[in-house]
Amino acid sequence: MKILFLGDIVGRTGRDGVVAKLPGLRAQLRADLVIINGENASHGFGLGPDMAREILAAGADVITLGNHSWDRKEMIGGINDLPRVIRPLNYPPGTPGQGVTNVELADGRKATVMQAMGRLYMDPLDCPFRGTAIELAKYKLGVTTQAIVIDFHAEATSEKMGFGHSFDGQVSFVVGTHTHCPTADCQILPGGTAYQTDAGMCGDYDSVIGMSKQGATTRFWHKMPSERLHPADGEATLCGTYVETNDTTGLATRIEAVRLGGRLSQSIPIV
């Protein structure tokens, strides 16, 4: 299976970049499954149901969220009408939405997408490690589902790496989101799971993690609230990861970084 994962969409620039470039990128990579983190798509904070539908229509199969899941209040009541939009599975019981979704491809193959959120320097949610283990017990990789992808939305690189190694050999791909900076550690772990600490973002990199430089840097200089942060509005770079898996085992055979457009060096896998 050919899998494309794109990192956090930040603001209108990120949304417009994804909507404009995803159809061609998906075709170029011949991607069977496209997953995008969309939790910062609405002015940098949250995702509206209307935006989710636009991103899905552009070619995403699944949208993941994160710590900004409920910044757009409409998503609290609307997420249950969007089964391909998932939030972290370790939110407390009774939280709207779901942390896992299953996708059936046109040829009948199945893929499972999950999201968990870390706890170091983040909200004190239920344990993401135990929660993920409970969900994984419902599937048999390569048998009941041909691929399992987990978006681990976390701040600390150590927690992300610990999570990846914990589920090595049990899933196809573990990818980190949240920090908006693409890491250079794309690899296949010893047990066969593809891994990257952070996929980066879909947004303007002439910024501070996607937000306007002036407001963000002023906060560091003066340690006082400045004007409300707003997304940078230059050309977006689509950052993400491309993974190929073996349908029989569900394990990874290839992983490469994806960077398209904008300021960063370009990287498009040859398929």
Say what the alpha-carbon torsion angle 182, 188, 193, 197 is, to the nearest 10 degrees. -20
Mean pLDDT per block of 10 residues along the chain (271 residues) reads 98 97 98 98 95 97 97 95 97 96 97 98 96 98 97 98 98 98 98 98 96 88 78 96 98 98 97 95
Q: pTM of the entire structure?
A: 0.96
180 is catalytic: no
Instruction: Give exposure, 194-212, as e/b (b: 16+ Cβ within 10 Å).
Output: bbbbbbbbbbbbebbbbbb
Write down the residue that tokens 């899941």 correspond to: 69
Instruction: Report domain extents, the chain.
Output: 2-260
Please state, in angstroms and rounded to a whole number, the distance separating the CA atoms of residues 155 and 35: 20
Cβ-contact 1, 250 below 8 angstroms:
no
R_g of the chain, CA atoms, integer Å:
17
pLDDT at 226: 66
pLDDT at 224: 77
pLDDT at 222: 84
Domain 2-260: give its CATH architecture.
4-Layer Sandwich (3.60)
pLDDT at 31: 98
pLDDT at 83: 95
Which listed residue (43, 68, 153, 230) is catalytic? 68
